[in-house]
């Protein structure tokens, strides 16, 4: 019944996690979900009120424009200027998306012909590789290793592969590792892309979830980036709006237009009321994100201490709300033990690619008291195992 394209897809790791949670709950288990990165913090009331008011406007009941309201795109450009010091033309360099995942999935369709190479990081958000394969492209894996700070070794890419590749996906701050890239790395990446006529698709939804003194940079801050790169962003993590599907892609006009051409033939624009609420979110994002970071910082410290105490190798993340822990064994076996014995859900690293094997990703998108309970359960399990 299914096409070869669908039959060749690996199981989406987060769908498997949902099934495991459901099975455990059916057995009456008190499940603590540290798996999928879906913020538990509610969308701020001011954004909800903006949506309610905008939903009453009859103009928002009609088909929305494919590129997004100019008012929303202008708010995006203002946010980029205020946040990163990057000037964007809202008419030609900003495209509204139904969540950034949509644009990420459409990108390869716009730029890859069957058989074209695309550089894809591993471990990584699974959609990058899947999107390349959907477009008929051939993924070339860029290993992200701990000894390299989970940055790809651009010097290790052969000149033959670099010349044949059409695009490169990257994501910093990084999911799942929590690593960050600095402007020096981005400059090297832009030079590499320029020399090899590569399109850079940079996914940057975690820029506001950071724990150091300075915000992680945008690739568009680098000179020359606008010639080769676009950046995906969304309000999902910045303003706790995962279910709202409010995202955008910005940067190189031609690349933005290509993604828009695919979008206009496959789906529609965002609900106008969501865009109106998104304008409010963008303008209030600085204060929203500041409070959010303090909550996540407390949770990260708590879980980090607990994971270290039970003997896992883990570093405190520079950004994101994930901890990337080395278990030394098979990641699926470890996460199965957590759910079966403790009712704790975590994501096996191999779900993010072969180079994620041996790691487990823990998310802190649960109330602090639930994270404390998870730590207590893991400590009890390890104590019992050591006493045997």
pLDDT at residue 22, rounded to an integer: 83
- pTM of the predicted model over 0.85: yes
pLDDT at residue 284, rounded to an integer: 94
CATH tag, 4-41+294-383: 3.90.1150.10
The pair phi, psi for residue 113, each rounded to 5°, is -95, 160
46: region left, alpha or beta (phi > 0 left; psi from -120 to 50 alpha)? alpha
Q: How far apart are CA 358 and CA 123, in angstroms?
A: 11
The SS3 of residue 379 is helix
The SS3 of residue 83 is helix
pLDDT at residue 345, rounded to an integer: 94
The ranges of the chain with pLDDT < 50 are: none
Q: What does the domain layout of the chain look like in residue ranges?
A: 4-41+294-383, 45-285
CATH tag, 45-285: 3.40.640.10
Count helices and strands in the chain by DSSP H and E runs: 12, 13
pLDDT in tens, 317-369: 999 999 999 998 899 999 999 999 999 999 999 999 999 999 999 999 999 99
Q: How far apart are CA 72 and CA 211, in angstroms?
A: 28
The dihedral formed by the CA atoms of 308, 313, 314 and 315, expressed in degrees to the nearest 10: 100
Query: Is-same-fold flag (4-41+294-383; 45-285)?
Result: no
Q: Which residue's entry shows tokens 């600095």?
A: 182
pLDDT at residue 171, rounded to an integer: 98
């Amino acid at each position: 019944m299914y096409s070869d394209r669908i039959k060749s897809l690996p199981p989406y790791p987060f769908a498997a996690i949902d099934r495991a949670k459901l099975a455990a709950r059916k057995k009456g288990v008190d499940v603590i979900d540290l798996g999928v990165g879906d913020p538990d913090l509610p969308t701020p009331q001011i954004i909800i009120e903006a949506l309610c008011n905008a939903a009453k406007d009859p103009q928002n009941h009609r088909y929305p424009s494919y590129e997004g309201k100019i008012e929303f795109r202008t708010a995006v450009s203002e946010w980029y200027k205020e946040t990163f010091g990057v000037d964007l033309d809202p008419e030609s360099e900003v495209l509204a998306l139904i969540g950034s995942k949509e644009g990420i999935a459409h990108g390869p369709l716009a730029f890859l012909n069957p058989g074209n190479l695309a550089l894809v990081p591993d471990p990584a958000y699974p959609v990058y590789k899947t999107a390349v394969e959907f477009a008929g492209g051939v993924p070339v894996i860029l290993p992200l290793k701990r000894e390299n700070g989970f940055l790809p070794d651009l010097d290790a890419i052969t000149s033959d592969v670099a010349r044949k590749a059409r695009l490169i996906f990257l994501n910093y701050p990084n999911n799942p590792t929590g690593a960050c890239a600095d402007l020096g790395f981005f400059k090297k990446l832009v030079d590499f892309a320029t020399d090899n006529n590569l399109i850079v698709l940079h996914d940057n939804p975690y820029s506001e979830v950071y724990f150091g003194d300075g915000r992680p940079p945008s690739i568009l801050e680098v000179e020359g980036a606008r010639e080769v790169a676009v950046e995906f962003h969304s309000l999902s993590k910045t303003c706790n709006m995962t279910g709202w599907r409010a995202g955008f892609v910005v940067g190189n006009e031609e690349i933005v237009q290509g993604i828009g051409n695919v979008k206009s033939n496959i789906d529609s624009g965002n609900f106008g009321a969501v865009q109106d609420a998104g304008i409010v979110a963008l303008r209030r994002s600085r204060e929203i994100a500041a409070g959010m970071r303090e909550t996540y910082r407390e949770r990260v410290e708590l879980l980090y201490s607990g994971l270290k105490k039970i003997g896992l190798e883990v570093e405190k993340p520079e950004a994101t709300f994930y901890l990337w822990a080395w278990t030394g064994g098979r990641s699926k076996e470890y996460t199965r033990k957590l759910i079966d014995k403790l009712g704790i859900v975590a994501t096996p690293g191999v779900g993010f690619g072969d180079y994620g094997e041996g790691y487990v990703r823990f998310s802190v998108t649960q109330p602090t008291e639930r994270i404390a309970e998870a730590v207590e359960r893991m400590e009890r399990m390890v104590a019992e195992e050591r006493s045997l």
